[in-house]
Amino acid sequence: MNTKTSTAKAPTARKAPRKSQSAPSQEAADQMAAPELEHATIPSNPATELLAYQTDLWRRGVRYLDTLRERADNMLEHERMGKPPLLDFDYEIILDGRRLERPANYALLRITRVGEDCLEDCLDETKPPVMVVDPRAGHGPGIGGFKQDSEVGMALHEGHPVYFVIFFPEPMPGQTLEDVQHVLRRFVETLAERHPGQPPVLYGNCQAGWAIALLSADCEGLVGPAVLNGSPLSYWSGESGVNPMRLAGGLLGGAWLTHLMADLGDGRFDGANLATNFEALKPANTLWQKDYQLFADIDGQRERFLEFERWWTGFYSLSKEEIVAIVENFFVGNKLERGELEVCPGCSVDLKRIRNPLVIFASGGDNITPPHQALNWIPAVYPDTAALKAADQRIVYLLNPHVGHLGIFVSSKVARLEHRAILESVGDLNDLAPGLYEMKIDNPTGDPDCHKPQFQVRFEERRVEDLDYPSQAPAFEQVRALSEHNVALYETFVGPWVRLYTTPWTAEMLRQLHPARTSRLMFSERFAPWMKGVKWLAEMAETMPTPVDSSSPYRQWETLMSDSIASTLELAGTTRDSVFEMAFGTLYAGPWAGMAWVKTSND
């Protein structure tokens, strides 16, 4: 299938000044007669070069401030529109979960058009539908179909009917994980009615991965292969010094803070808190590199920056019931891989009930969901390879060596390679013998219009016993016990008073004053009227020529200074993480840590 892709306009070439047709001067003739001087350069005037750099610095600075102004205005506009999903495809709503008997703020969309191309004549009726589910982790939906070269785009390219699961900015009152799973099951049943005999391929990104895992365990026979992209299922796993996020629960004393934040939000948990946690992982990028990359190449990076920030600053809420269940059962309790998760009273989730093939896509460059968290649940559920084969299950994993967490979902290069290869290989998964496999892609072309055999996919058999990640279960068991103790104290002595004095007005005030919002909205014309002057100056600066390039010694000095600042911030972040690691080890894994909290919890 051919999809429309946006193309950047080539810069217009400037005409060279018209040269005089008179005979060359004697000096010019001498230069032409001396080949050895042909490539000689005349040293520039230092004062002129400095003035040119200062002019360029002013031009980039004005345009940078104007980009921040436009980001703030986009943020306000997106909120006024109700924060619609940022899909680069036309769609229609098939089923609105808010209108079901057990409502949840989810909806099932069908992709209907790509640019000017209607899909009806491009779909392959023999291929199963693909249902893409985005993560509900503080931001809105759309990242799986953010642009043409995306998970949605590649599925359409391969001829699959594509459906997309979105969620709305606010949860239904009292919405629980059980309500969400009920609605997702209804979506799967709807696809079974629309495409009989073709179980859908489920695509789960990040936090949506565990939702897909729960759905697969609950919908045996209704779903086809499930693809889990950067999805954590083993929350206590990680590498020391590389994945500090898993230690946050222990350093904060467990899930009591989540209860507090949700109570202050009048029963809603602000997604801006989650976005702030993600940004804190890499202080060098958050505090300097992201903005400097925009400033250094304001002409080339402006549109990309604004496009991404429109999604990143669209903060969505979760209900208290949802976020508490997620933190206590997954991040702190790690109950999913142990079969102890109860979605409803008496309804425990056992990952051994999953019978549809699984494809796990993880990256070594992912510091949010490292391969440890994506894969270490397998030996916890299946002690050895024989147990996996006896369960008649097929698990395939694919590893990227360096792409970051968001790159797994939004990178065009990843979409054209890994996701295209996955989608073209889903039909082969059921033909594999039960067992564990690593997916290998040979001779990738990177061309979104190519098909097999221009690239080859191999499934190399692996052993469950080889997934030998270090276990820190005893320390995290103490974190779980301490969390339960602190939550009981909070709900007994503090929570009732917080809920008594919290009103919708105070909750909205806290939401609007969150630093993740104010740090961006402060550049909006609505809050800073003088930004209109910046807009006017930026319109003037946009027409100015670029006086210097990267070869300028001043630009090179600027880059050197930027690298120095970034290195300092990286060192600060690494030092902070090391201190956190040592504090966690002292509190929960030290020789005197003992089992005091476990004993308290058991009592």
Evaluate if residue 3 carries a pLDDT over 90. no
Query: Of residues 219 and 461, which shows the higher confidence score?
Result: 461
The pLDDT of residue 20: 38
What is the residue whose two structure tokens read 């292969």? 225
The mean pLDDT value of the chain amounts to: 87
Which of 287, 286, 289, 297 lies closest to 555, judged by CA? 297
Task: Judge whether 521 and 74 are in contact, CB under 8 Å.
Answer: no
d(CA 154, CA 203) in angstroms, rounded, equals 12
Task: Judge whether 145 and 132 are in contact, CB under 8 Å.
Answer: yes
The pLDDT of residue 600: 44
The pLDDT of residue 569: 97
Burial 305-317 (b: 16+ CB within 10 A, else e): bbebbbbbbbbbb
- With cut-offs at 50, 70 and 90, classify the pLDDT of residue 238: confident
- With cut-offs at 50, 70 and 90, classify the pLDDT of residue 543: confident
Phi, psi of 271 (to 5 degrees): -65, -20
Q: Write the pLDDT tens digit of every residue in 577-588.
A: 999 999 999 999
Lowest mean pLDDT among 22-31, 272-281, 490-499, 500-509: 22-31
Strands 394-400 and 358-363: parallel
Radius of gyration of the chain (CA): 28
- What does DSSP assign to residue 547? -
Q: Residue 253: CA atoms inside 13 Å, Cβ hemisphere, count? A: 11
Q: What is the average per-residue pLDDT within 346-362? A: 91
Hey, which CATH number is domain 90-236+334-466, 3.40.50.300, 3.30.70.20, 3.40.50.620, 3.40.50.1820? 3.40.50.1820
The pLDDT of residue 124: 84
Structure-block tokens of residue 280:
């804190």
Write the DSSP assignment of 510-543 as a string of letters: HHHT-HHHHHHHTTSTTT-TTHHHHHHHHHHHHT
d(CA 558, CA 296) in angstroms, rounded, equals 9
Write down the domain spans for the chain: 90-236+334-466, 473-602
User: What residues pair up with 398 in beta bridges, in sequence order?
Assistant: 361
Evaluate if residue 375 carries a pLDDT over 70. yes
Q: What is the average per-residue pLDDT within 313-329? A: 96
- Give percent of the chain with pLDDT exceeding 90: 71
Cα-based torsion angle of the residue sequence 203, 229, 237, 135 in order, rounded to the nearest 10 degrees: -70
Q: Write the pLDDT tens digit of every residue in 264-317.
A: 999 999 999 999 999 999 999 999 999 999 999 999 999 999 999 999 999 999
Residues counted in the chain: 603
Please provide the distance, in angstroms rounded to a whole number, between the alpha carbons at the two ends of the chain: 63
Evaluate if residue 344 carries a pLDDT over 80. no
- With cut-offs at 50, 70 and 90, classify the pLDDT of residue 519: very high
- With cut-offs at 50, 70 and 90, classify the pLDDT of residue 456: confident
Find the largest Cα–Cα distance for the chain. 103
The pLDDT of residue 120: 67
Q: Write the pLDDT tens digit of every residue in 466-475.
A: 998 888 888 9
The pLDDT of residue 593: 60
Structure-block tokens of residue 67:
């980009």
The pLDDT of residue 263: 98
The pLDDT of residue 346: 74
